[in-house]
Amino acid sequence: MMEVAGPWTEVFEASDRKEASGGSTLTLAPLMGDSPSVRRSQPILIASNRSKGVKSLSSSVPAIPNPFPELCTPSKSPVLISSLPPQSTDKHLVKVFGEDNHSRAVWVSRGATAREVCQMLVQTAHCSDQENWALLEIHPALGLERCLEDHEVVLEVQATWSLKGDARLMFCKNYAKYEFFRKPMLFFPENMISDSADVSKGMTSSDLIQNLLRSGTCPEIQGFLHVKEPSRKTWKKVYFFLRRSGLYSSTKGSSKEPRHLQYVADLDDLNVYTAVNGRKLYGAPADFTFCIKPSRNPIRVQDLKILCAENEQTRTCWTSAFRLFKYGKQLQCNYHLSKSAPRSLEGSNLADGKSKSEASLVAMDFSGKAGGRVIQNPTEAQSAEREEGQAWRRREALRCSLPNLNSAARPSSIHKTLPWFHGGVSRKEAQRLIEKQGLVDGMFLIRESQQHSQCFVLSLCYQLKTKHYLVIPFEEGGRKYLTMDDGVTLFIDLLQLVEFHQINKGILPVCLKHPCVCVAL
């Protein structure tokens, strides 16, 4: 034993008390046996009033942060608590991918919702538009994806993922999250509404749907769907009913008698996913595939109920009804919160569904001597729109004929820097991009044609369908233009074509409103 002068004795010996490791110990033992024991490597707390009559100087001397906080126990250390890492933090690291496959890691609280994470990403990624953003849950190997609801807790969603899976979160635009509140008849066609839902006679389908949506629910849905038989590659056509109590299938044609109905799933305990490339992955009879699965279990192929609709409107109707029956009033609250969110100056939606830039445009007549006047008559406004479209060609032809603007100086490649241009993506990929960001009227992108050299294609969404318009080169007076209507209206480049159709429909069924953009984090 080796003693050191002072009130403490340093003892080097093999302790009789064996620790879990069974080895020797190095202890600091007090000379007096009744003193409290101090744990190994612990700082000793020295009271500030050791001597009577001596005033404590601790309040006047600033505390110095410990440069080695890991050597001390935070609970008993005299160093500043702020210099120590928290013992138990409520923040968790979440990785979110952009559409360019690059990711960004953000710290979120345990109860952070998808809406809050989107707002955080909008600020950190410096997005100019602060609305219509969404988190997409993607399972690439299974080809499944769904848009998280604004109120869903992100960490709870991630807790249901398999550790060995490839699930990820993607930050992207979604304009159609609440579109069924704005255009219910488009999302719930009359032929898919069950007769049992019409409890009040004399009420039209439109009034019925509006009343149900305002009350936080939707009408009962019925119709044929192709269902993949378990453990087999074959598909079977079955008549389904979707009610508040759950999903049912009929064992005898389209009969809705209780003895012919078979219970399939509980709506409160499932999530609905859209299947990408369902033909290749699951052998689906059509491209409009979706599936349902228990929401609290990891995604396994044997737990998936894979369904296929005849067209996009039917699939959208089923998936929207699943969401409304499951969340009800909560979706309506999310919709009102999205409308009250901060609006950007350009491209944001107003209460009537129009953008600010569109709502601020009015038809004007400048032919009078007293200045311009606003055209109030709708018929006169439409006539002025047609005249403006016809005069567009003459004005641009005159502008391009000026001596200081030759064909070489024309910015023919300016479209490559714009967000709505997607290069040489295929027709199928263009449709998938538009579907992911929401099948709303006016969603568009422009791509290079894969079948026609030096041509472009305008892909536009209208009434839940994606239409494609060929943009061809046109030569007149020795100058090259672009046109979609066989030379009736000419444009010097794609930028001019887009700006024109953002104001005038032209040959399109609707004006261009929402550019389909690829978000990069």
Looking at the fold, whether 123 and 99 belong to one and the same domain comes out as: yes
State the pLDDT at residue 374: 73
Least confident of 31-35, 91-95, 367-371: 31-35
Looking at the fold, whether 141 and 194 belong to one and the same domain comes out as: no
Looking at the fold, whether 284 and 320 belong to one and the same domain comes out as: yes
- CB burial string 177-200: b at 16+ within 10 A, e below: bbbbbbebebbbeeebbeeebeee
- How large is the average pLDDT for residues 82-102? 73
Asked if the structure places residue 415 within a domain, the reply is yes
Q: Is 240 a residue whose pLDDT tops 80?
A: yes
- How large is the average pLDDT for residues 30-37? 48
Q: What CATH number is associated with residue 433?
A: 3.30.505.10
Instruction: Say what the alpha-carbon torsion angle 406, 407, 413, 415 is, to the nearest 10 degrees.
Output: 80
H or E element at residue 25: strand 25-30
Residue 442 neighbours by CB under 8 Å, 6+ apart:
460, 461, 462, 510, 511, 512, 513, 514
* Domain boundary, last residue among 290, 319, 339: 339
Looking at the fold, whether 154 and 105 belong to one and the same domain comes out as: yes
CB hemisphere CA count around 243 (13 angstroms): 15
Tell me the C-alpha distance between 521 and 508, whole Å.
Answer: 33
- Reported in sequence order, the residue ranges of 180-304 that DSSP labels E, i.e. its strands, are 221-228, 235-243, 246-250, 261-265, 270-275, 289-294
State the pLDDT at residue 367: 65
| 198 DSSP β-pair partners | none
Q: Is 487 a residue whose pLDDT tops 70?
A: yes
State the pLDDT at residue 124: 84
Looking at the fold, whether 195 and 307 belong to one and the same domain comes out as: yes
Q: Helices (H) and strands (E) in the chain — how many of each?
A: 12, 21
Asked if the structure places residue 354 within a domain, the reply is no
Range of the domain at 30: 1-39
Looking at the fold, whether 230 and 131 belong to one and the same domain comes out as: no
C-beta of residue 497 within 8 angstroms of C-beta of residue 507: no
Query: Residue 352 burial by CB count (10 A; 0-12/13-18/19+): exposed, middle or buried?
Result: exposed
* Domain boundary, last residue among 296, 321, 339: 339
State the pLDDT at residue 348: 38
Looking at the fold, whether 298 and 186 belong to one and the same domain comes out as: yes
Asked if the structure places residue 289 within a domain, the reply is yes
- The overall pTM is greater than 0.85: no
Gap between the terminal Cα atoms of the chain: 64
Tell me the C-alpha distance between 171 and 511, whole Å.
Answer: 26
State the pLDDT at residue 18: 42
State the pLDDT at residue 78: 46
Asked if the structure places residue 453 within a domain, the reply is yes
Asked if the structure places residue 227 within a domain, the reply is yes
Tell me the C-alpha distance between 150 and 139, whole Å.
Answer: 19
Among 268, 269, 245, smallest CA distance to 258 is for: 245
* Domain boundary, last residue among 322, 339, 356: 339
- How large is the average pLDDT for residues 297-326? 90
Looking at the fold, whether 211 and 294 belong to one and the same domain comes out as: yes
> 177 vs 406, which has greater pLDDT?
177
State the pLDDT at residue 8: 47
Three-state DSSP at 204 gives: coil
Query: How does pLDDT run across 490-502, given as a tens digit for each residue?
Result: 998 899 999 999 9
Only one residue has tokens 């010996």, namely 13
Residue 352 token pair: 């009537």
Looking at the fold, whether 152 and 214 belong to one and the same domain comes out as: no
Looking at the fold, whether 134 and 31 belong to one and the same domain comes out as: no
C-beta of residue 505 within 8 angstroms of C-beta of residue 513: no
Residue 23 neighbours by CB under 8 Å, 6+ apart:
none
Residue 319 neighbours by CB under 8 Å, 6+ apart:
272, 274, 290
Q: What CATH number is associated with residue 119?
A: 3.10.20.90
Query: How does pLDDT run across 384-424, given as a tens digit for each residue?
Result: 766 665 565 455 545 554 444 444 434 457 788 888 999 99
Question: What is the residue-wise DSSP string for 302-363?
Answer: GG-EEEE-SSHHHHHHHHHHHHHHHHTHHHHHHHHHHHTSPPPSSS-B-TTS-BHHHHT---
Tell me the C-alpha distance between 410 and 393, whole Å.
Answer: 16
Looking at the fold, whether 165 and 128 belong to one and the same domain comes out as: yes
Asked if the structure places residue 120 within a domain, the reply is yes
Residue 158 neighbours by CB under 8 Å, 6+ apart:
94, 167, 169
Tell me the C-alpha distance between 108 and 312, whole Å.
Answer: 36
- How large is the average pLDDT for residues 262-291? 92
Asked if the structure places residue 65 within a domain, the reply is no
Q: How many domains does the chain have?
A: 4
C-beta of residue 239 within 8 angstroms of C-beta of residue 290: no
Looking at the fold, whether 484 and 414 belong to one and the same domain comes out as: yes
Residue 479 neighbours by CB under 8 Å, 6+ apart:
397, 400, 401, 407
C-beta of residue 282 within 8 angstroms of C-beta of residue 304: no
Asked if the structure places residue 486 within a domain, the reply is yes
- How large is the average pLDDT for residues 81-92? 56
State the pLDDT at residue 350: 36
- How large is the average pLDDT for residues 342-358? 42
- How large is the average pLDDT for residues 466-471? 95
Q: What CATH number is associated with residue 217?
A: 2.30.29.30
Among 255, 326, 340, smallest CA distance to 294 is for: 326
